[in-house]
Amino acid sequence: MARPAPWATKVAAVIQAGNKPAALAQIKVAPSVRELQALRALMMKHTQWKADKLLLQAVDDQVASLSHPRLHRSP
């Protein structure tokens, strides 16, 4: 059994509070693709959040950037 994603529920609480800039900042520093997918699943359960194209696009962009291998690695 998979453990629940606490990061996703915390970001969902920030979205629920109406602080969109803070939610976007948290999405940009997401720890993993799994956490972002959990957040996307939570967002799809709420009709109001599902209609927010900016947040959904931010999640999709971050999933794409975390999914691809890094082109440049720091030493």
Is pLDDT larger for residue 43 or for residue 73? 43
**pLDDT value of residue 73:** 56
| pTM across the whole model | 0.81
Q: What is the pLDDT of residues 18-41, one digit of tens each?
A: 999 999 999 999 988 999 999 999
Q: Under a CB-based contact definition with an 8 Å cutoff, are residues 58 and 27 in contact?
A: yes
* Tokens of residue 31, six digits: 């720890």
Residue-range domain boundaries for the chain: 36-61
**pLDDT value of residue 49:** 84
Identify the DSSP state of 18: T
Q: What is the pLDDT of residues 29-72, one digit of tens each?
A: 998 899 999 999 999 998 888 888 999 999 999 999 888 776 65
Round to whole Å and give the CA distance between 12 and 39: 7
Q: How far is CA 26 from each of CA 10, 36, 52, 55, rounded to the nearest angstrom?
A: 10, 10, 16, 11
